[in-house]
Amino acid sequence: MNKQPMLQLNNVTVTVNNGGQDIDILKAINLNIYPGDFVTILGTNGAGKSTLFNVISGHLTPTSGQILLNGEDVTKFSEEKRAKYISRVFQDPKLGTAPRMTVGENLLLAQKRGQHRGLKLRKLKQQRQELVKELSLFENGLENRFETPTGDLSGGQRQALSLVMAVSSEPDLLLLDEHTAALDPKTSAQLMTFTNQVISERQLTCLMITHHLDDALAYGNRLLVLNAGQIAEDYDQTTKANLSKEDMLEFFDSAIA
């Protein structure tokens, strides 16, 4: 049975003016993402990876082209309007949380992502047990810091919290923008294991930018390679399983040459 794409990018182009010269950061991108896809994304610096995420999330409006989410044209939707459907975790652990609010307060706020928030009781105490259970999944002690201001957490704990917050509203699409890049190798590996577990158990649809070749090859059912603003390769699960680090290094060496 053929599935309908959850996300469609049709001839999406992003052009910027640099010193009087127009430069295409993304060049007529065509991409279909299907429900349940876990797509890892590789590319050299300047390949257009973050611009692609900015366009999908609504942070940036494409110069031309169309973006469909669940069949609806969202090309002109603001980032705030798309937040109901799309969650994003950034590379910098400080970007996904409010530092002066406690862990519990951040989680409660995340549950209302993309919804209208009026003046009413927050009912944090009543939801504490459920929220602590969410935090305990990562097994790094985060559940014991429920009343700790987020700014006092370690980078790994803060990034784990950002991920828990991102999935708490059950988004249609999860964007992971090099979310392990700022962490030490051990914490990065722990977070990737947790990430894969959450995506699998909740059957999330996810796009993940990474600069770790091992992670790009080990996780997900598809691998996209961006080069000079275009999708150079789109490997399916079978082809991806037969790729090696050496294959990818050879590809990037030839692309840069």
pLDDT tops 90 at residue 57: yes
Cα 139 to its chain centre, rounded Å, is: 22
What residue segments make up the domains of the chain, in order of their start?
35-60+78-256
- Which residues are CB-contacts of 210 (< 8 A; sequence separation ≥ 6)? 40, 41, 42, 176, 178, 180, 181, 216
d(CA 245, CA 224) in angstroms, rounded, equals 15
Architecture of domain 35-60+78-256: 3-Layer(aba) Sandwich (3.40)
In sequence order, the β-bridge partners of residue 7 are: 33, 69
pTM recorded for the entire structure: 0.89
Angle between the 103-110 and 124-136 helix axes, to the nearest 10 degrees? 100
d(CA 127, CA 129) in angstroms, rounded, equals 6
196 three-state secondary structure: helix
pLDDT tops 50 at residue 177: yes
Better pLDDT: 138 or 2: 138
Report pLDDT for 121: 39
Report pLDDT for 117: 46
Strand 86-89 with 206-209, pairing: unpaired
Average pLDDT over residues 178-185: 91
Q: Could you tell me the pLDDT band of residue 214, with boundaries at 50, 70 and 90?
A: very high
Cα 118 to its chain centre, rounded Å, is: 28
Report pLDDT for 122: 53
d(CA 126, CA 130) in angstroms, rounded, equals 9
d(CA 221, CA 200) in angstroms, rounded, equals 11
d(CA 16, CA 4) in angstroms, rounded, equals 32
Phi (first) and psi of residue 244, to 5 degrees: -125, 165
Report pLDDT for 112: 65
> What percentage of the chain exceeds 90 in pLDDT?
60
Q: Which tens digit of pLDDT belongs to each residue from 83-107?
A: 989 999 999 888 878 888 899 888 8
pLDDT tops 60 at residue 115: no
- Which residues are CB-contacts of 1 (< 8 A; sequence separation ≥ 6)? none
DSSP secondary structure string for all residues of 104-146: HHHHHHHTTTTS---S----HHHHHHHHHHHHHTT-SSGGGGT
